[in-house]
Each structure stands twice: as structure tokens, then as C-alpha cells.
Amino acid sequence: MAEAIAASVPTTPFTTILNFRDVGKTVNQLSGSPKLQEGRLLITIVQPDRATADNQVTLTTTYGIRTIVDLRSKSEHLAQVQKSTPDPSYLSIPGIKYELISLNGSAFERALIRKLPWSGIARLLYHAGTFNRPAAIRTLTTTVMAPAGLAPLGITTLSASHAEVLAIFTLLSLPASYPLLIHCTQGKDRTGLVILLVLLLCSVPVDTIDKDYRASERELMPELEARLEELRAIGLGDNFAACPKLFIGLMLQWMANRWGGVEGYLDGIGVGREMREMVRANLMVAGGD
């Protein structure tokens, strides 16, 4: 089943940019009908500094990217710098506007801290007091994140990061933002949450959303070992490299129980009716199924 799903999703056209795809084209191909405009919303694990000169030309000319939304955290940016690879904060592709919105930012971190036992809080305070941010982050990953798993962490993200989600949807509501590319580190978890909200808002069938999400696992295979090494280094298990079969269903169940669905969630965090209609107009095919 997973192989059939993967085979039906277009593969990345790049060699150095993994999990790159046109969300509209993928959704239309998977659903068998024109639901979304193609060439408007793209996803990837792209770190633009990894793009070759030819790739940069392709992003700006072939795809016409105007905006890149980077969902990575401060720690991830620092880690990128420590690898001696320039970070988007320091290297930008000319002609593209960069929006740095840490989806798992301070609000998410505070939500995790509230889940720590007293011993974990003590370790966290010690590492914070010695300015050892990597050790502080590892305290959260090993004590809270790893035992929880991806779906509960996704719920924590959507529960805590209201301001960040609102900022993303504000960009999505502006016609001048498009074509827009959104990414995190793997292009499947934080990016997957944002795409889940967008596709639900645009009335894309759940089975199509699930297939699109799970296809990321295949797209990330070329760097699987490197990603596993990075996950293990911060105290997360190998399961965090996967796209769990039940992830989409669990997110939908939580959203329905807590908010009555995606419209209720978005409305509750400040993405009002007018903004939601603007996002739909920017992405949906007029008169589509």
C-alpha cells in the first residue's frame, strides 16, 4: 500500500533538494480531479543554501518562487551554522522574500516545559543557567518529546503555536506571496501540519491528504541515515523519521473533538472567515470539484 501511494506522487526534480513538490499538482493527481491551482504552493525540506546555482535559477524562473516560509527553530538555524553551511538568515536567493516563522518556537517550548517532571525542570534550569542550549533542548526531547511521539507533538504544536499559525495564514491570504514555498527540516512534520490545515480548508479529501503526507517518507529516503543520526543526537528515536500511518487521522480526531473541525480551529486562533476565503481563492480551482 505504501509503495502504491509513493508511486502515485511526483518525485522531486532536484538532486540536492529533497521532498520538493507542487502541492496543487500532487493533490490533483492523487484525487483525479482539479481541486487546487498548480504552481502556487510548494513544499520541501529545502535549505536554500543547499541549492546549487542551477537549482536557484530553477526556483526563481521555472517555479517563480516569491516567498519562502522557513518553519525551523533558532536551535536548528544554529546547528546549520555549526555545520559551516550558511543559513537562510545569512544567504538568500536574490528576488525571494524570506519569512522565518518558528512553528515550534517559544510557545511550543513553554508547553513542553509544563510537561516536565520536577527533576527535568531542575536539569533544564541548570543547562539554561550554564547557557548550554543544546543540552536544555535534549532534556525536552528525551523527557517529553520522545515518549510522546509525533501525533501528540503535532497536537501540542497546534495547541500552543497559535500566533505562528496565524502568521503563516496571513501570508497565505496575500496574493503577492505566491508562488510560495514552505519548509522545515524534514518537510513532513511542521510543514505537514500546515499543509494539513490548508488542504482541509480547501476541502481536499482526507485520503488524498493522507497519501500526500505519507509520500514524504519515500522522498526523504536518500538521506535517511543522516537524518537518523541527527535525530539520535538530540535524543529522538528512529520513529521520528517516519510518516506514521495514523498521524493524519489522529490530528483530525483531535481537531474535531476540540474545535469542531478545521474551520473552528482557524477561527479560534484568529484566522477569520475573510482570511480563510482569501486563502481558498488563492489556492483553489474556481468551480473545481
Helix pair 133-140, 106-113: axis angle to 10 deg: 60
Give the residue among 134, 127, 124 at the shortest CA–CA distance from 79: 134
C-alpha cell of residue 57: 535559477
| pTM for the model | 0.89
Using CB atoms within 10 Å of the CB of residue 99, give its burial: 0 to 12 exposed, 13 to 18 middle, 19+ buried.
middle
DSSP bridge partners of 145: none
DSSP letter (8 states) at residue 70: E
DSSP bridge partners of 183: 44, 70
For residue 196, what pLDDT is reported? 96
Separation of alpha carbons 155 and 175, rounded Å: 29
DSSP bridge partners of 97: 67
CA 110 to chain centroid: 20
Q: Is 38 within 8 Å of 63 (Cβ atoms)?
A: no
pLDDT tens string, the chain, 289 residues long: the values are 445 554 566 666 666 677 788 999 999 999 999 999 999 988 776 565 567 778 788 888 888 999 999 998 877 766 666 665 554 444 577 888 989 999 988 999 999 999 999 999 999 999 999 989 889 889 999 999 999 999 999 999 999 999 999 999 999 999 999 999 998 877 678 999 999 999 999 999 999 999 988 888 777 777 778 888 888 888 888 888 888 889 999 999 999 999 999 999 999 999 999 999 999 999 999 876 5
